[in-house]
């Protein structure tokens, strides 16, 4: 007996000593949370969780690959402890759901079956068969078979449909899919997803600066599901009413239908869906992820700031918007005239965004009323600057300071502030208040210039000229705008460069002197450079001159003498310097997008930029590395999706935008462009070819 006891003590002692020495000699650093998590697991090493032992499971939990409730032995109590170690609340983590990226499309009925094998896995291993698309869904339903919860079904169009009520986010479908088409994602992941090279994307979605899933919302409209269409657009663009009215729709220029006849009226359809929601009288509810408790200051309540705030709020952060003007909206409110975007519509749209729980402060200017220091002191974790480009470029000619010379943005914002709901003909109060004359010249050829000119007509001026130094062909304004202003009676003076403003003895403008130009060699922008003709000075009799030749951000906030702000670098165009892919500025917690970062650009660019900044801010707030989107498709096209020709399309004319007749327009600031009627919208939606969704070619016979 003594031997036995001595033996046990001896062997226990030897093992203990050996191990304690070994643990010192072979010490390797490990995340301390791993051992904490492991100590809260059963330690039975049973393998029931699917991981090889408790320490493997603990490592997976710490890496975020497994849920705190993974251990089947320790039960709910253990899960709560593990969650506490990881700083997670087991109950409020955002739920994840399966999400099908390639959804929809024209499917040939005869899919390619390899020896009768109806499995996506097998097909993707052998060969594409009659499959044309190399990225999209194979449609044989391995994912449907893999789902233990009956949440996936093969839809009518031959692609899997997720039942969000049944899906638990287990990820079995993701593992079964050989093409990585179906992914398990949280709503936040979906909201902050950006186009990547391997995504199945139609040319329009590749081109849209906001990366809206255009074919999907068009197909919703086609099926009569107008509210789901609105939701699809809202996944990428919270300002759909405004964009539906003012967007110059770069997507349409890349529309594949345009090769055959005319591009689909994508923007008209967006406006149709957006107006449908507004006119329905109620709002589609918008879900937000569980609160994260992080605060973000959004400086500037324009499209970039609103977009950034909207996406940050939806992923669970707490943005607060600071706006220098009396109301939110930025250029949408103060730069775009009432007749293009009624204030009523804009108010409704912005209300929907702020109602999500976004704090707003108006009439506070960055640099004067508050500074970077006060934001940091107030506990904001990150700052977004989207102050836009509000400073007009000066004309740079003698006599510019004479009374009667105005600046474009200044002019538009003053009118916008004075006009609340439109004026009627003969009401000259605004014109008198602003001391406008009767004959005006607008210098410039962009959208701002056209807006100024059309606004002047509505204010009751008798004659409005547009003075532009190149020809109509080179005008950067939207074609529709130019056509509308021609209809409304604006006179164009092309190939004219102002050289002097002539005033009378009272210090009032009487004439604009300009030099005639001729087009020379093309410059860097590809447009032919105008060259002045010597001795061609001409006088144009006007009493008001508006200069709208471009804008830059108002960088006066830099005058605040704080050490913090001095670290923020600007470019030589006084835009804020940032990393073009992550939108992070020279100060790590400051992000910037919109005109303030890019210089004057489209509303939709600002909206896309706001979302991109929201993604970076989200990464920054989570303490992750702020990295650019991998394999980003920004400003690139998927080469195989760019077609030269397209066959088999019956030409149908595209829907024409309904407009108010010219004689009723000039009386007031009432909206000019009208929404498509439902029948026409449905017909237009039918014109969509649903590109990047034709996965199998029925005509192809060879394998």
Partner 1 sequence: MAQSMVKEFTKGLWAELPPFRLVLGLCPVLAVTKSVENGIGMGVATTFVLVCSNLLVSLLRNIIPVKVRIACFIVIIATFVTVVELVMQAYTYPLFLKLGIFIPLIVVNCIVLGRAEAFAFKNSPTLSIADGLGMGIGFTLSLGALGAIRECLGNGTILGNTVFGPGFQPFTFMVEAPGAFVCLGLMLCLMNLIGKK
Partner 2 sequence: MGDYFVLAISCIFVNNILLAQFLGNCPFLGTSKKMETATGMAMAVIFVLVLAGIITWITDTYLLKPLNIEFLRTLSFILVIASLVQFVEMFLKKSIPALYAGLGIFLPLITTNCAVMGVCLININEEYTFMQSLVSSFSYAVGFGLALILFAGIRERIIIARVPKPLQDTSIGLVTAGMIAICFFAFKGMV
Site for partner 1, rule CB under 8 A: 12, 39, 42-46, 48, 72-75, 78
Q: Which does 13 bind (CB under 5 to 8 A by kind): partner 1, partner 2, none?
A: none
CB closer to partner 1 out of 14 and 44: 44
The least CB distance from residue 71 to partner 1, in Å, is 9
The per-type count for the chain, helices as H runs and strands as E runs, is: 28, 20
Q: Hey, what are 692's tokens?
A: 């990047």
Q: Hey, what are 113's tokens?
A: 């079956």
CB closer to partner 1 out of 81 and 318: 81
The least CB distance from residue 98 to partner 1, in Å, is 22
Q: How many residues does the chain have?
A: 703
Q: How far apart, in whole angstroms, are the C-alpha atoms of residue 570 and residue 611?
A: 22
Pairing of the two strands 463-467 and 439-443: parallel
The least CB distance from residue 56 to partner 2, in Å, is 4
Q: Which does 52 bind (CB under 5 to 8 A by kind): partner 1, partner 2, none?
A: partner 2
Measure Cα distances from 45 to 38, 61, 65, 82, 677 in Å.
Answer: 11, 15, 18, 16, 66
The least CB distance from residue 45 to partner 1, in Å, is 8
CB closer to partner 1 out of 73 and 434: 73
Q: Hey, what are 565's tokens?
A: 């702000």
Quick one: angle between helices 214-222 and 678-687, nearest 10?
130
Q: Which does 73 bind (CB under 5 to 8 A by kind): partner 2, partner 1, none?
A: partner 1
CB closer to partner 2 out of 140 and 607: 140
The least CB distance from residue 47 to partner 1, in Å, is 9
Q: Which does 616 bind (CB under 5 to 8 A by kind): partner 1, partner 2, none?
A: none
CB closer to partner 2 out of 25 and 115: 25
153 beta partners: 161
Annotate 638-656 with b (16+ C-beta within 10 A) or e (fewer): beebeeeeeeeeeeeebbe
Q: Which does 51 bind (CB under 5 to 8 A by kind): partner 2, partner 1, none?
A: partner 2
Check if the beta carbon of residue 512 is closer than 8 Å to that of residue 356: no
> What one-character-per-residue DSSP string does 526-539 give?
SSEEEEEPTT--EE
The least CB distance from residue 77 to partner 1, in Å, is 8
The residues of the shown chain that bind partner 2, judged by CB under 8 A, are 3-4, 7-8, 11-12, 15, 18-19, 22-23, 25-28, 44-56, 59, 119, 121, 142, 145-146, 148, 172, 175-176
Q: Hey, what are 285's tokens?
A: 């509810």
The least CB distance from residue 121 to partner 1, in Å, is 25
Q: How far apart, in whole angstroms, are the C-alpha atoms of residue 537 and residue 497?
A: 10
Q: Hey, what are 23's tokens?
A: 């643990």
CB closer to partner 2 out of 46 and 126: 46
The least CB distance from residue 41 to partner 1, in Å, is 8
CB closer to partner 1 out of 39 and 504: 39
Q: Which does 75 bind (CB under 5 to 8 A by kind): partner 2, partner 1, none?
A: partner 1
Annotate 248-258 with b (16+ C-beta within 10 A) or e (fewer): bbbbbebbbbe
Measure Cα distances from 242 to 108, 302, 485, 508, 673 in Å.
Answer: 38, 12, 20, 38, 12
CB closer to partner 1 out of 44 and 703: 44
Q: Which does 145 bind (CB under 5 to 8 A by kind): partner 2, partner 1, none?
A: partner 2
Q: How far apart, in whole angstroms, are the C-alpha atoms of residue 662 and residue 659?
A: 8
């Amino acid at each position: 007996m003594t031997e036995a006891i001595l033996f046990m003590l001896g062997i226990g002692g030897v093992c203990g000593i050996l191990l304690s020495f070994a643990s010192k000699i072979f010490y390797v650093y490990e995340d301390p949370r791993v051992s904490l998590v492991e100590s809260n697991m059963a330690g039975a090493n049973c393998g029931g969780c699917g991981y090889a032992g408790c320490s493997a499971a603990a490592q997976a939990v710490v890496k975020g690959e497994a849920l705190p409730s993974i251990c089947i032995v320790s039960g709910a109590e253990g899960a709560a402890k593990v969650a506490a170690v990881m700083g997670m609340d087991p109950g409020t983590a955002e739920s994840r759901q399966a999400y099908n990226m390639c959804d929809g499309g024209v499917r040939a009925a005869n899919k390619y079956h390899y020896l009768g094998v109806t499995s996506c896995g097998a097909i993707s291993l052998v060969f594409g068969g009659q499959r044309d698309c190399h990225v999209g869904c194979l449609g044989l339903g391995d994912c449907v078979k893999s789902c233990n919860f009956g949440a996936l079904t093969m839809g009518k169009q031959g692609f899997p449909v997720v039942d969000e009520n049944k899906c638990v986010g287990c990820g079995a479908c993701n593992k079964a899919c050989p093409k990585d088409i179906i992914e398990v994602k949280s709503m936040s992941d979906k909201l902050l997803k950006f186009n990547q090279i391997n995504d199945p994307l139609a040319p329009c979605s590749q081109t849209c600066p906001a990366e809206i899933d255009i074919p999907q919302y068009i197909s919703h409209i086609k099926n009569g599901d107008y509210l789901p269409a609105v939701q699809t657009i809202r996944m990428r663009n919270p300002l759909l009413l405004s964009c539906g009215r003012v967007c110059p729709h770069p997507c349409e220029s890349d529309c594949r239908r345009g090769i055959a006849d005319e591009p689909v009226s994508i923007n008209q359809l967006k406006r149709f869906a957006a107006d449908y929601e507004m006119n329905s009288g109620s709002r589609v509810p918008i879900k937000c992820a569980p609160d994260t408790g992080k605060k973000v200051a959004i400086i500037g309540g324009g499209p970039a700031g609103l977009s950034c705030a909207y996406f940050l709020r939806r992923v669970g952060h707490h943005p607060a918007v600071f706006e220098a003007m009396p109301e939110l909206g930025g250029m949408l409110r103060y730069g775009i005239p009432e007749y293009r975007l009624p204030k009523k519509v804009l108010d409704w749209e912005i209300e929907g965004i702020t109602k999500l729980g976004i704090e707003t402060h108006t009439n506070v200017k960055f640099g004067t009323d508050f500074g970077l220091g006060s934001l940091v002191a107030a506990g904001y974790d990150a700052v977004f600057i989207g102050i836009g480009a509000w400073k007009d470029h000066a004309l740079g000619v003698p006599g510019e300071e004479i009374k009667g010379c105005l600046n474009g943005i200044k002019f538009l914002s003053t009118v916008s502030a004075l006009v609340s709901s439109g004026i009627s003909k003969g009401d000259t109060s605004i014109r008198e208040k602003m001391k406008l004359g009767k004959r005006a010249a607008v210098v410039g050829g962009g959208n701002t210039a056209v807006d100024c000119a059309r606004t002047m007509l509505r204010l009751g001026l008798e004659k409005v000229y547009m003075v532009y130094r190149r020809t109509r062909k080179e005008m950067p304004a939207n074609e529709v705008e130019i056509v509308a202003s021609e209809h409304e009676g604006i006179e164009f003076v092309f190939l004219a460069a102002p050289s002097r403003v002539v005033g009378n003895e009272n210090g009032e403008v009487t004439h604009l002197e300009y030099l005639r130009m001729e087009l020379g060699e093309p410059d860097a922008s590809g447009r032919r450079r105008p060259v002045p003709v010597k001795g061609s000075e001409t006088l144009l009799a006007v009493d008001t001159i508006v200069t709208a030749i471009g804008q830059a951000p108002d960088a006066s906030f830099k005058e605040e003498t704080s050490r913090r702000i001095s670290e923020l670098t600007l470019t030589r165009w006084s835009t804020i310097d940032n990393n073009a892919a992550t939108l992070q500025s020279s100060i790590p917690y400051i992000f910037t997008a919109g005109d303030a970062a890019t210089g004057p650009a489209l509303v939709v660019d600002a909206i896309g930029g706001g979302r991109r900044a929201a993604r970076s801010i989200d990464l920054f707030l989570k303490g992750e590395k702020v990295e650019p989107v991998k394999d980003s498709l920004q400003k690139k096209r998927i080469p195989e999706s760019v077609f030269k020709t397209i066959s088999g399309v019956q030409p149908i004319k595209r829907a024409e935008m309904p407009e108010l007749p010219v004689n009723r327009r000039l009386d007031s600031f009432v909206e000019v462009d009208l929404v498509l009627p439902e029948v026409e919208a449905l017909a237009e939606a039918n014109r969509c070819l649903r590109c990047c969704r034709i996965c199998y070619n029925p005509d192809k016979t060879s394998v």
